[in-house]
Each structure stands twice: as structure tokens, then as C-alpha cells.
């Protein structure tokens, strides 16, 4: 029997302010060929600020999670082994996977289980060339907000750079790229109780507790690394300087939501600290070392809880 | 369905980051965002979260008969900023398996102030509905994070809640208010099997669309973004 040295947790939230210097982690695109456009978000107070999309953070988390899962021998589906962002949906047209079920996907792939997937429904063709297909989906267990720069603590520098044209005749081209620096507010929620489950019906699929723990631990490690070693666009030549990390980790031990509060607010740590209770553990950090210590404790001493709803199933 | 002794519950939500509830019928390639979720989104969130809290059987037998028919009012946050974002979308050609990239746009909202949902529930079901409301963690897209800050017994402030155009008081001016299409359950007697495929299978559309008016007026335009500020319908005079 598997010896339990860890305590169950239902959900974790991260409410952080992270400081990045000289980065271009998320961009809206370019104006054709010679200017990279940063991402911008209008805030409800009427100011416009720099933003980093949650899509890109989630994409890099999934890639790192796949590496951690491979390292511990946790199964991945062929699509996730090939780092195909469609995950299980990439398999559905292959003959061997035509009758794929949600149980099979969740059981056989830790990335699909954690980051979710969507196989769209399809009607049968009238000429009989394609069969009807049932929709299969699971919501992501980990959700990233946009990272929003604090408007008064953000700066942008336009850098003139050169790049080679597509052909010899085009020669060298001038291009403008922005290097942005500032403090960003970011929220992440990880619903660990959904690990190994069909979360539409809240039915347990992965009943091997050690496999659920492996996936949980890998998810937290990838999250820790993503904050301590920034990932995103243009890092090959603009890897950001991480100069600060402060915030709150809220851990909900039993069924319920871990609180989220915007780190755009000056007093976000005080507000969240006041919510500590028997069922909600609040840990604050002011440095990367403190963050690392809290994450190590989470990774080593927790496991995904089973939701109360599970008791309603056979 | 028990109809005796009904009570109003109000649940307030902090929206800690950006969020995006898509306007029904707006294209995936150019998706507009709502300032707050519509009535069908609220009913579906109650079902989804109810299953997480209590399991499928209890939701189907005890909560669903109320969820499908209960009056719902939605009070948007005090200020909502909408910004259009260019995103990369990937599509794989079915025959060649070639991946193509295309730019798409999606509006994203940022809010100040609490959003409040009002439900009228039987007094005997107050506790399970309170628990479900407290556990709703997002509206619309799963990354549209939300956190329930309080649940109280209070009547809806209908002057500050979204209303169908057909119920809008005819003596009030409509023009300054933000309006859009929203979805609602097509029928208060809709069956469980009509609705469940929305979150797992396929069936005829259980929703119908209607034009709604929000108690929000446009305060400013900022590039491709706009700022909406809440104002009670009656506060705007002819």
C-alpha cells in the first residue's frame, strides 16, 4: 500500500508581482516588417498599460510540464510527446485513435490531463466519407491571467536592430523592437483536485494515487520554474532580467476556491493575508528565495485532494 | 419544483485580472467581449460548479429544476475597459495536416468594482446554492478568473442590472446605454438532457438569443479600447 506522507490540497492560487527588466515576452505582432508591437491593455481606471498574454505563459508551462513528466516516466500521448499544442485533438484522425475516450486520454497523458484538450464534435458526411464524432473535452486545471504592468512602474525603450532579409538582394533591414521593463501583476490558479479526473462529471479516472502525485508535483515544479526563469517570446536575444518577486500563495485544503486578488492593488498582500483560515493557508513572500522555499514545501508535502463530489460516485 | 418561500441571494465577485466572455454570434476570428456574463452563462456555471460540489445526481434531481427557471439578475462591475487584442490562431488542414497561422482578434475586459449575481431560490435550497455561488471561479473563458467575496440575502438593484430590451422601460432613453446580444435558456421547462450536451455532448441548441441593455455608458474611447461606466437606468433623464 502507498504510504501517505503528504497532505491533500484542493486548489492553489498565486497572486504575484513580478519584476522583469528589458523583455519582450508577449507581443501583439508587427506592423508588416519593421516594428514589433507590444501588447497593450486598457485598465478600468482609464490608463493603458503593457500586458503579457496568459496564452503564452500557459504554452510554456505545458512544454516544461511535458519535460518533467517524461523525466519521471509519467505517460504522455503521442501528440504531447511531439509537443503538438493540439494535444489529444491531434490524434483523433489516426486510425488507432478513432474511438478515443475521455478515460483513455486522461489516463494516458499527464499534459492532456493538466492542460485540458478539446476534440470538437463532427457531423457525419452525407456521402458517408466521414463518420460522426462526439465532442471530448476537459478544462485546463491551470489558468493564467494576463500579466499587467503597474502603469506607474513601467517603462519602454525602442531599440533599433538589424536583421537579414529573406534573400541576398534584400540585404540588411532595420527593425524597431521594444524592450519593456516593469513590475507586473499576475494571477495563476491551479485546481489540483481535478488531477486524473473527468471534470465534467467529476469522476475519478486515474485511481493510482502515485501517478496523480507525480503529475501534481511536475505541475508545481513547472510553475515554479516559469516564475523563476521567465519564458515567452523573443527570449533567445531578450531573456529578461528577473529583479523581484513578491506575493501570496493561497492553498485551499478542502472543496472550495483559493482566493484571488489583483496584485495591481498596493495592499493585495494585506487583503489576502486577512483571509487565512483553517481551510485556507496563506503564505506570503517578498523575495525569490522565500518563494522557492514555499514552493519546495508545496511540492514535497502535498498531494491532490479527492473532491467531495467523488463520494457521490460509485 | 418547490415554489413556496422564495428568497433572493446575491453573490459578489472580484475579477482580479482580465477576462473575456464572448458576445454570442460574434465570430471566433473577431470576438467581442461582454462586460459581464449573460443569464445562460450564469445558469451553466451553476450546473458546472454544482456538479463539482455535489455530484451529477444531486444537481440533476435537486438543483437543476430551480436553475433552469429561477429569476436571475446581473449587475456589472462599476467600470469595465474593453481592449481588442490580436492573437495567433493555428489551424491544421485536415487532409495535409499542414499547420497554418492566422491573426484573430478577441476583446478582453478589465474591471474595477464588484460584479453581483442575484438569484431567487427556495429558502430550503439556500445553503447548497450559497455553496455553489461561492465556488464559481470563472465566467466565460476558463482563464477569466473570478473570486466570490461575499454572499448575502438581498433584493436585486434592478436599475443597475442588465435587462432584456423588450422589458426596458419605454420612457427612458436607450441611446447612451451599452447593448448587445445575450443568450438565455430557451424555456424554463427545458430538460436536463437538453442542457447537459453543452458541457459534454451534442443536441439541438437549448439557448435562445435576445437583445439586452446594460446599465453601462461609454465614458471614453482609447485607441481600439473603450471604457464603460455603470449608471442606473433611471439616472439618465430624457
Asked if A42's CB is within 8 angstroms of B110's CB, the reply is yes
Nearest beta carbon to residue B145 from set A55, A143, A202: A143
**Boundaries of domain holding A292:** 7-54+141-312
pLDDT of B117 over the 80 cut: yes
* Helix or strand holding residue A80 (H, E): helix A78-81
In this prediction, residue B205 carries a pLDDT of 82
Is A259 close to B147, i.e. CB distance below 8 A?
yes
The answer to whether B178 touches B76, Cβ cutoff 8 Å, is no
Give, in order, the Cα–Cα distances in Å from A247 to each of A184, A229, A294, B61, B69.
11, 17, 11, 42, 42
- Contact with chain B for residue A53, Cβ under 8 A: yes
CB nearest B53 (choices: A44, A187, A308): A308
B28 lies within 8 A of chain A by CB = no
Domain count for chain B:
1
Establish if B108 touches chain A: CB-CB under 8 angstroms.
yes
**Residue A162 Cα, gap to closest chain B Cα (Å):** 25
Whole-model pTM above 0.80? yes
Which residues in chain A have their CB less than 8 angstroms from residue B202's CB? 121, 134-135
Q: Is A98 on the interface with B (CB under 8 A)?
A: no
Please report the ipTM that was assigned to this predicted complex: 0.89
Nearest by Cα to A232 from A22, A12, A15: A22
Q: Looking at the domain assignment, is residue B1 inside a domain?
A: no
B156 touching A (Cβ < 8 Å): no
Q: Do B199 and A202 touch (CB under 8 A)?
A: no
B78: which chain A residues are within 8 Å (Cβ-Cβ)? 44
What pLDDT band is residue A36 in, cutting at 50, 70 and 90? confident
Identify which of A248, A294, A293 has the alpha carbon closest to the alpha carbon of residue A274.
Answer: A248
For A76-91, how does the pLDDT look when each residue is reduced to its tens digit (9 = 90+)?
Answer: 999 999 999 899 998 9
Average pLDDT taken over every residue of chain A: 91
Residue B167 covered by a domain: yes
> Cα separation of B86 and B96, whole Å?
27
Among B143, B107, B97, CA closest to A56:
B143
Query: pLDDT tens digits, residue range A110-162?
Result: 999 999 999 888 777 777 777 777 789 999 999 999 999 999 999 999 888 88
In this model, does residue A49 exceed pLDDT 70?
Answer: yes
Query: Which residue among B81, B87, B145 places its CB closest to the CB of A44?
Result: B81
Q: How many CA atoms lie within 13 A of B164 on its CB side?
A: 11
Quote the cell numbers at residue A126. 452525407
Instruction: Tell me the mean pLDDT in the region B34-41.
Output: 96
How confident is the model over A230-274, as pLDDT tens digits? 999 889 989 999 999 999 999 999 999 999 999 999 999 999 999
Split at pLDDT 50, 70, 90, the class of B200 is: very low
Q: Which of A58-72, A145-159, B94-108 has the lowest mean pLDDT?
A: B94-108
CB of A159 within 8 Å of any CB in chain B?
Answer: no
Please count the structural domains in chain A: 1
Q: Are A148 and B18 in contact (CB < 8 Å)?
A: yes
Instruction: Work out the average pLDDT over A42-69.
Output: 95
Q: Is residue A114 domain-resident?
A: no
Mean pLDDT of the B51-74 span? 96
Alpha-carbon distance A73 to A67, whole Å?
Answer: 10
Q: How confident is the model at residue A64 (pLDDT cuts 50, 70, 90)?
A: very high
Q: No. of H helices and E strands in chain A?
A: 8, 16
Q: Is the pLDDT of residue A310 over 80?
A: no
B196: which DSSP letter?
A: G
Residue numbers of the domain that contains B167: 6-235
Cα A250 versus chain centre, distance: 17
Q: What is the pLDDT of residues B129-164, one digit of tens each?
A: 999 999 999 998 888 999 999 999 999 999 999 999
Asked if B201 and A187 come within 8 Å (Cβ–Cβ), the reply is no
The domain that holds B136 is classified in CATH as 3.30.70
Residues B162, A302: Cα–Cα separation, whole Å: 43
Amino acid at each position: 500500500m502507498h504510504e501517505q506522507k503528504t497532505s491533500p490540497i484542493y486548489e492553489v492560487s498565486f497572486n504575484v508581482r513580478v519584476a522583469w527588466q528589458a523583455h519582450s515576452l508577449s507581443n501583439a505582432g508587427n506592423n508588416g516588417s519593421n516594428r514589433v508591437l507590444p501588447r497593450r491593455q486598457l485598465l478600468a481606471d482609464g490608463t493603458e498599460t503593457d500586458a503579457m498574454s496568459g496564452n503564452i505563459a500557459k504554452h510554456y508551462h505545458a512544454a516544461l510540464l511535458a519535460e518533467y513528466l517524461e523525466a519521471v516516466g509519467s505517460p504522455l500521448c503521442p501528440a504531447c510527446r511531439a509537443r503538438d499544442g493540439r494535444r489529444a485533438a491531434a490524434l483523433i484522425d489516426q486510425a488507432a485513435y478513432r474511438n478515443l475516450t475521455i478515460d483513455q486520454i486522461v489516463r494516458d497523458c499527464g499534459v492532456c490531463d493538466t492542460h485540458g484538450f478539446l476534440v470538437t464534435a463532427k457531423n457525419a458526411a452525407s456521402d458517408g466519407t466521414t463518420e460522426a464524432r462526439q465532442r471530448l473535452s476537459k478544462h485546463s486545471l491551470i489558468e493564467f491571467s494576463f500579466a499587467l504592468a503597474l502603469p506607474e512602474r513601467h517603462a519602454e525603450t525602442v531599440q533599433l536592430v538589424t536583421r537579414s532579409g529573406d534573400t541576398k538582394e534584400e540585404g540588411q533591414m532595420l527593425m524597431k523592437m521594444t524592450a519593456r521593463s516593469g513590475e507586473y501583476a499576475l494571477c495563476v490558479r491551479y485546481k489540483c483536485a481535478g488531477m486524473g479526473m473527468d471534470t465534467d462529471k467529476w469522476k475519478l479516472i486515474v485511481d493510482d494515487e502515485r501517478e496523480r502525485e507525480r503529475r501534481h508535483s511536475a505541475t508545481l515544479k513547472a510553475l515554479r520554474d516559469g516564475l523563476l526563469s521567465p519564458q515567452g517570446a523573443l527570449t533567445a536575444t531578450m531573456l529578461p532580467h528577473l529583479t523581484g518577486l513578491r506575493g501570496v500563495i493561497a492553498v485551499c485544503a478542502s472543496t472550495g476556491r483559493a482566493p484571488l486578488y489583483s496584485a495591481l492593488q498596493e495592499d493585495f498582500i494585506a487583503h489576502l493575508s486577512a483571509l487565512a483560515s483553517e481551510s485556507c493557508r496563506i503564505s506570503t513572500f517578498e523575495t525569490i528565495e522565500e518563494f522557492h522555499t514555499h514552493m519546495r514545501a508545496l511540492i514535497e508535502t502535498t498531494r491532490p485532494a479527492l473532491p467531495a463530489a467523488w463520494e457521490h460516485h460509485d | 419544483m418547490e415554489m413556496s418561500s422564495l428568497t433572493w441571494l446575491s453573490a459578489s465577485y472580484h475579477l482580479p485580472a482580465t477576462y473575456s466572455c464572448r458576445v454570442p454570434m460574434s465570430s471566433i476570428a473577431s470576438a467581442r467581449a461582454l462586460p459581464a456574463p449573460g443569464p445562460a452563462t450564469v445558469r451553466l456555471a451553476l450546473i458546472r460548479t454544482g456538479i463539482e460540489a455535489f455530484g451529477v445526481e444531486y444537481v440533476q434531481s435537486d438543483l437543476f429544476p430551480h436553475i433552469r427557471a429561477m429569476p436571475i439578475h446581473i449587475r456589472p462591475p462599476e467600470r469595465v475597459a474593453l481592449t481588442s487584442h490580436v492573437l495567433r490562431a493555428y489551424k491544421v488542414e485536415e487532409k495535409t495536416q499542414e499547420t497554418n497561422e492566422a491573426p484573430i482578434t478577441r476583446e478582453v475586459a478589465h474591471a474595477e468594482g464588484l460584479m453581483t449575481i442575484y438569484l431567487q431560490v427556495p429558502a430550503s435550497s439556500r445553503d447548497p446554492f450559497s455553496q455553489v455561488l461561492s465556488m464559481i471561479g470563472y465566467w466565460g473563458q476558463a482563464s477569466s478568473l473570478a473570486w466570490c467575496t461575499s454572499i448575502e440575502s438581498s433584493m436585486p438593484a434592478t436599475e443597475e442590472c442588465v435587462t432584456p430590451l423588450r422589458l426596458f422601460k419605454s420612457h427612458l432613453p436607450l441611446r447612451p446605454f451599452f447593448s448587445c446580444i445575450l443568450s438565455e435558456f430557451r424555456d424554463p421547462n427545458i430538460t436536463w438532457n437538453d442542457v447537459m450536451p453543452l458541457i459534454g455532448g451534442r443536441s439541438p441548441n437549448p439557448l435562445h438569443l435576445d437583445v439586452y441593455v446594460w446599465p453601462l455608458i461609454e465614458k471614453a474611447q482609447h485607441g481600439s479600447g473603450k471604457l464603460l461606466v455603470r449608471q442606473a437606468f433611471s439616472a439618465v433623464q430624457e
